[in-house]
Amino acid sequence: MASAKRILLIIGGGIAAYKCLELIRRLRERGHSVRAIMTKAAHQFVTPLSVGALTNERVLTDLFDLDDEREIGHIRLARDNDIIIVAPATADLLARMAGGHADDLATAVLLATKNPVLVAPAMNPAMWLNAATRRNVAQLQKDGIEFVGPAAGEMAERGEAGPGRLVEVPQLIAAIETVLDEGKEKGGLLAGRHVIVTSGPTHEPIDPIRYLANRSSGKQGFELAVAARDLGARVTLISGPVSLPEPHGVDIVRIKTAAEMLEAVRASLPADIAVFAAAVADWRVASPELEKIKKTEGKAAPALALIENTDILKSIAQPGPARPSLVIGFAAETQDVLAHAKKKLKSKRADWIIANDVSPSSGVMGGENNTVHVISAAGVESWPEMSKAKVARKIMERAATELHAKRTAAE
Ligand SMILES: Cc1cc2nc3c(=O)[nH]c(=O)nc-3n(C[C@H](O)[C@H](O)[C@H](O)COP(=O)(O)O)c2cc1C
């Protein structure tokens, strides 16, 4: 069971809203505190009086309630909780969430939160199976929203059956506590550790609107951050420009250039483990123009003079008091992958290099899978092709074991 947590429950206007009363009781019995937001429609199904009596807190509904804004405010509501539960999540609420609406307190809080959100849908099967709801659910899942249910069975409407029932309270509580327990597994291999992960490409400006970049999607780096979090670490993810949903429970620092990434890494130290998975530009334009470079007829194309960026991996891996105990670099190569990676291990003084073939035929850049080789002083280990999530989990488990061995040897 999870330790006492602050739960924000958003109750939507569906027939299953009555089950929330039982949910609140059971959550409070388990030591959690519950604050509730009811949508306007939810008032048609349960009363704020019952919900308020069971939560022992004032029930909130109105975004423009000035008292609330002064006392709590929707941004604080969005932040001051460990998890947000939407139950029952109506078809309409899912559509507003997927569309990024913020036209009432429930949706404004959902849009403003960085905390985990668990949604328990409940609706008529035709509504659940409708193409619009399918699209909205797919979008929300892509955005990192967790779902539990719906269950299949008889509906409140006579003669209606199919998927759309709110899951039963014990199942809902199990799902809530699973999300809460993520990363806080007792004795998680990286509990109490700080892990820095860099991810994504960097953008090096040519002029105010043009830049040099690469095809990195940031997927492997984000998976590494999630894997470290799931093993209990505090994670700082330093990301170049990517279009991936932010994983919850991870501190994200967004940067654009290689210089900004180096600065962010330095500012995030000390760390136990640093994994440099970002595809950092080796060069930047020596003197980016302050105004857009104009194309002039008859004039030759401008020559771009490049200078080298500071090597982040090499700089952080240098021996010294600030060096993380374990420094892991990625080597993205298109030829002689192993030979280059072995050279990199020595020249950068990294503990491990994770080498992968990123030639276009490999499909690694932007793809879901990766085939990597782990190069360390102990030699080369080649792993079979697997998902980037699996690669990430294996790397982090191995890093945790290595860290433990280093600490034990030092004692
Ligand atoms: C009797 C009745 C029962 C309803 N039950 C549901 C339901 O179970 N699920 C659902 O998605 N909508 C249901 N609706 C429709 C929602 O109440 C309606 O879409 C409302 O706008 C949802 O508002 P909300 O998402 O802000 O709570 C029901 C409507 C009525 C009149």
Domain count, the chain: 2
Q: Does residue 171 sit in the same domain as residue 82?
A: yes
The reply to whether 189 falls in a domain is no
Provide the residue range defining the domain that includes 91: 6-181
Q: Does residue 304 sit in the same domain as residue 162?
A: no
Q: Does residue 220 sit in the same domain as residue 140?
A: no
- CATH number of the domain where residue 60 is located: 3.40.50.1950
- CATH number of the domain where residue 380 is located: 3.40.50.10300
Ligand 1 centroid distance, CA of 156 (Å):
13
Q: Would you state the pLDDT for residue 409?
A: 65
Asked whether the beta carbons of 237 and 247 are under 8 A apart, the reply is yes
405 vs 351: CA distance, rounded Å = 13
Q: Catalytic one among 81, 115, 214, 370?
A: 214
The reply to whether 235 falls in a domain is yes
| Whether residue 66 has pLDDT greater than 60 | no
Q: Does residue 199 sit in the same domain as residue 312?
A: yes
Q: Does residue 14 sit in the same domain as residue 123?
A: yes
Q: Does residue 270 sit in the same domain as residue 127?
A: no
Per-residue pLDDT of 67-125, as tens digits, reads 655 666 888 889 889 999 999 999 999 999 999 999 999 999 999 998 899 999 999 99
pTM: 0.57
Kindly report the protein residue whose alpha carbon is nearest to atom 22 of ligand 1. 13
Ligand 1 atom index nearest CA of 40: 26
214 is catalytic: yes
61 vs 51: CA distance, rounded Å = 12
Q: Which residues pair with 168 in a beta bridge?
A: none
Strand pairing class (306-308; 283-285): antiparallel
Q: H helices within 194-336, ranges in order? A: 219-230, 258-268, 312-317
Ligand 1 atom index nearest CA of 106: 26
Higher pLDDT, 199 or 60: 199
Q: Would you state the pLDDT for residue 274?
A: 98
The reply to whether 187 falls in a domain is no
Q: Would you state the pLDDT for residue 183?
A: 45
Whose structure tokens read 């793809």? 367
Q: Which of 9, 10, 15 to mutate to test the pocket of ligand 1 (most atoms within 8 A of CB)?
A: 15
What 3-state DSSP class applies to 173? helix
Q: Which residues pair with 162 in a beta bridge?
A: 153
Q: Does residue 228 sit in the same domain as residue 373?
A: yes
Higher pLDDT, 186 or 219: 219
Ligand 1 centroid distance, CA of 127 (Å):
11
The reply to whether 186 falls in a domain is no
127 vs 331: CA distance, rounded Å = 48
Q: Would you state the pLDDT for residue 76?
A: 85
**Which residues, in sequence order, are CB contacts of 156 under 8 Å at separation 6+?**
15, 16
Last-in-domain residue among 181, 206, 238? 181
The reply to whether 188 falls in a domain is no
Q: Does residue 255 sit in the same domain as residue 400?
A: yes
Per-residue pLDDT of 126-174, as tens digits, reads 999 999 999 999 899 888 888 888 887 777 777 777 789 999 998 888 7
141 vs 376: CA distance, rounded Å = 37
List residues near ligand 1 (CB under 6 A): 12-16, 39, 41-42, 90-93, 122-123, 127
Question: What would the mean pLDDT of 169-188 be, rounded to a whole number?
Answer: 73
Ligand 1 centroid distance, CA of 90 (Å):
6
371 vs 84: CA distance, rounded Å = 37
Per-residue pLDDT of 200-228, as tens digits, reads 999 999 999 999 999 999 999 999 999 99
Mean pLDDT for the chain overall: 90
37 vs 95: CA distance, rounded Å = 18
Q: Does residue 153 sit in the same domain as residue 295?
A: no
Last-in-domain residue among 122, 153, 181? 181
- CA-nearest of 356, 358, 266 to 313 is 266
Ligand 1 centroid distance, CA of 126 (Å):
13
